[in-house]
A and B are shown apart, each in its own frame.
Chain A
Amino acid sequence: MVRLILKNLLRNKKRTALTVLSFGFSLFLLVALATFLNALINPPESDASILRLAVRRSTSLAEQMPLAYAERLKRIPHVADVMPLQWFGGYYQEPRNMLATLALDPKQFLEFFPEIETTPADKAAFVSERRGALVGPTIMNQFGWHVGQMITIKGNIFPVDLEIKIVGTYHNVEEENAIYINWDYLHETLGKPGKIGAFWVKADAKENVPGIAAAIDATFRNSPAETKTETERAFRLGFVSMLGNVKLIIGSIACVVVFTMLLVVTSTMAMTIRERMREVAILKTVGYRRIHILLMIVGEGLAIALMGWVLGYLFCVGLGHMDTNRMTQGFVPKFNPPAMIYALTMAVGLMIGLISGLIPGLQASALTISEAMRKLE
């Protein structure tokens, strides 16, 4: 039976190859969509990220709150540490060269975010240099910057320009296109207004996180600057939800892709079987039973789907080896779909293979010998 399936597959090599290619491309697209959606709605969590909470003004992230809140936040039970955070943004030379500049406390930053990898020397320089900045490799490449260089970041949200010195770079699986600068330097440049955009708060234990969020917001309720405290995960998902119904759009596109694959493979299978009606009749005449015919055709569909999946997988692995970070300008730092998505798309692929074989297979196996003979063209 397996030999029969293989023989049939190899009979029209061009057709099999084309179907497999078509299937492979579609599966690759499906993996890419699923990976993108997964990265958006399931930001990776680590032991460190689970303890982090973001505190901002309840009005919106664009409003500021008193810097003195830091001391009050530290006194809230189970708060292990509090770090100032201010989005500076800015641009380099031209407004279209937008930058993701974040001002924070250098020493606390590397304790809060152990996933940011940097060398001890770079770390020491970032902590000690007042104007020091850690710059992501993507940005370094984009503008051809090097460590030790002085850069002027023009302010857009704030009416000041910053003179920073690149003291080092960092690595992070999720993003490598930010610029981290010293909050004290920014605050001083602004003339010490005593206001800040947000705080990162670290909880002492995982189970205390929800309690802390509620306690912080209760502390500042009915004050001139009410706060909204969220876990890191919720904080990030907030940005995604602002993009609109991404889930629905990507989900429906994925459905269309699956349907297209189904259409392509099914029509190929139907085409193949139609041309082979006489053989089906002969096989039946020499004693093959209905179930054999069905299995043979379904097996062929499954084999095509499996080959298509392997091809799609190879595309994905190939893309994973390419510098997607540079190609997408930091939008996709690394294309590395989780195993779960490969497994899921394989299941979808095999399902399509099964259905595509089942429809013509049932038709062919149900035919009587004389009908099949008559169907010849």
Chain B
Amino acid sequence: MARIPIKYNLRYLAVRWTSTLTTALTFGLVVGVFVMVMSMVNGIEKALTTSGDPLNVLVMRKGVQAEGQSVVNIPQYETIRNFAGIARDARGTSLVGPEIVVLVNKPRVKTGALSNIQVRGVGAISYEVRPLVKIVEGRRPRTGLREIIVAKSLAGRFQGLAIGEHVRLGKGDWLVVGHFEAGRSAFNSEIWADYRELMQEFDRGEYNTVVARATGPAAVAQIKYQAENDPRIRLRGLTEEEYYNQQTASAGPIKALGLFLAVIMSIGACFAGMNTMYASVSSRVREIGTLRILGFTPQAILASFLIESIALSIIGGAIGCAAGGLIVNMLGRLPTGTMNIETFSEVVFYFTVTPTLLLRGMAFALIMGVVGGVLPAINASKQPILEALRQT
């Protein structure tokens, strides 16, 4: 069976470039919106999933979803300290330490709207087990002093977090002594302070969690087992990786919004695409008749028009991916934030476009092309030859 050359379709699209462009643009806008919204979902998930180190085990109370809800008391910590499987650093110090987290409500830079920031009370061990956290300006807080370091991306988004400024946390003012970076992880949305000082500030007599560095994957299971089964503590151990992965639910509402938008918009775009294709069929009735006389089968005509619709959608998808990608690339340099549902605090993220996302956008466009093109293509293939030729 002879196929109609694709060149025929492409030439037609080029000749009718205005309607080609408007239809492609309609598809492109749908794909563009899809790509942009989903790049937010990607960004949030990335901020949370890249945080976790698979060898860092967090020991916390059973049944809690966030560190802030957990309670680990001092006797429990003493037990955990002597667990088997905990790594040691070069000086022989056991890599295990308590942490606390509190929320502070601070105003954003532009709007002044208040949002929660997570403050983490840390010890020297916390820095050792999280090499991702690097001081880029200033220095670490000194033990025994009311000093804090702030994630650099947070300092740009909230008022009064520059180095040298005083910030009110609980009862008193704390001095900002440094800014840190932590890749694109969730620590990028935090303020760090000495845990003993922070416990005093917030009248805490207990820790929230204990972080322990395992010597290897087998030791991870060992630490988890001890946390759950040691009769003195009855806590739960989970790796940082597992902890942050369970928080990606925060991206859920945005994901739902993105899918809802994409589905409704693409239905609208399919109708528009159908319109264009019907118009192009009806303006080519004579050509179709000629093709049939030349010996092309109705199936070949159907395939040809379907290919034309798909070509249109590919152009649209490419426009959408390019535009969406470009805008995201510009936005992506700047951090943006939303609320982490689990911890009830700000999570800073970057719009992130991945090749998979662009492929999904193109797949979306293809579906629109097929759905929008199939009826007009059937219509074209069923044109009666004689009447077609008689038409002027």
Could you say which of A26, A268, A331 contacts B275, with CB atoms under 8 Å apart? A268
State the interface size on chain A (CB cutoff 8 A). 51
Residue of A nearest to B170 (CB): A59
Decide: A267 and B269 in contact? CB cutoff 8 A. no
**Does B336 have its Cβ within 8 Å of any Cβ on chain A?**
yes
Residues of A within 8 A of B32 (CB): 256
- A220 to chain B: closest CB distance in Å? 12
- Check if B105 is an interface residue, CB within 8 A of chain A: yes
In the complex the two chains form, is B276's CB within 8 Å of A267's CB?
yes
With a cutoff of 8 Å between Cβ atoms, the chain A residues found around residue B389 in the complex are none
Q: A242, B116: Cβ atoms under 8 Å?
A: yes
Tell me which residues across on chain B come within 8 A of A268, comparing CB atoms.
272, 275
Contact B278 A15 (CB under 8 A): yes
With A and B bound together, what is the CA distance between A58 and B111 in angstroms? 18
Docked Cα-Cα span, A249 to B18, in Å, equals: 30
Q: Taking A159-B61, A377-B283 as contacts, is the C-beta distance between A26 and B268 under 8 angstroms?
A: yes
How far apart are the CA atoms of A271 and B116 in the complex, in Å? 53
Q: Does B271 contact A (CB under 8 A)?
A: yes
Across the interface, do A22 and B268 meet the contact criterion of CB distance under 8 Å? Answer: yes
**Residues in B whose Cβ lies below 8 Å from that of A253:** 33, 37, 261
Bound-complex Cα distance A359 to B59 (A): 67
Binds A, one of B125-133, B299-307, B338-346, B355-363: B338-346
Contacts A59-B102, A260-B268; A29 near B275 (Cβ below 8 A): no
Q: Which residue of A lies closest to B27 (CB)?
A: A260
B279, A271: Cβ atoms closer than 8 Å: yes
Query: From residue A261, how far is it (CB to closest CB) to chain B in Å?
Result: 8
Among B18, B19, B26, B171, point to the contact of A224 (Cβ < 8 A): B171
Chain A hits for B102, CB < 8 A: 59-60, 62-63
- Name which residue of chain B comes closest to A155, CB basis: B63
Contact digits for B245-271, partner A, Cβ 8 Å, 1 yes 0 no = 000000001000000110011011111
A28, B264: Cβ atoms closer than 8 Å: yes
CB proximity of A376 to chain B, nearest CB, Å: 10
* Per-residue B-contact encoding for A84-105, CB less than 8 Å = 1, 0 else: 0000000100010010000000
Q: Give chain A interface residues in 251-271, CB to chain B under 8 Å.
A: 253, 256-257, 259-261, 263-264, 266-268, 270-271
> How many residue pairs between the two chains, A and B, have CB atoms under 8 Å in the bound complex?
148
State whether A15 and B336 are in contact (beta carbons under 8 Å apart), knowing that A59-B105, A260-B29 are contacts in the complex.
no
A50-77, CB < 8 A from B: 58-63
Q: A18-B274, A95-B65 are in contact. Are A63 and B346 (CB under 8 A)?
A: no
- Per-residue contact bits, chain A 15-36, to B (CB 8 Å; 1 contact, 0 not): 1001101110110110010000
Complex formed: what's the CA distance from A366 to B268 in Å? 32
Residue of B30, B114, B265 near A241 (CB, 8 A) is: B114
Q: Which residues of B contact A260 (CB under 8 A)?
A: 26, 29-30, 265, 268-269
Known contacts A95-B65, A271-B279; decide if A243 and B170 are in contact (CB<8 Å).
no
Report which B residues bind A (CB closer than 8 A).
18-19, 22-23, 25-26, 29-30, 32-33, 37, 40, 61, 63-66, 68-69, 71, 102-105, 108, 111, 113-116, 169-171, 202-203, 253, 260-261, 264-265, 267-272, 274-276, 278-279, 283, 336-339, 344, 346
Can you spell out 13 A-B residue pairs with CB atoms less than 8 angstroms apart? A18-B278, A22-B272, A59-B169, A60-B103, A61-B116, A242-B115, A245-B336, A253-B37, A264-B272, A267-B18, A271-B19, A271-B276, A377-B283
Point out residues on A near B: beta carbons under 8 Å.
Answer: 14-15, 18-19, 21-23, 25-26, 28-29, 32, 58-63, 91, 95, 98, 154-157, 159, 224, 228, 238, 241-245, 249, 253, 256-257, 259-261, 263-264, 266-268, 270-271, 275, 331, 377
**8 smallest A-B Cβ distances: which pairs?**
A22-B271, A241-B113, A267-B22, A60-B103, A25-B268, A244-B338, A264-B272, A242-B339
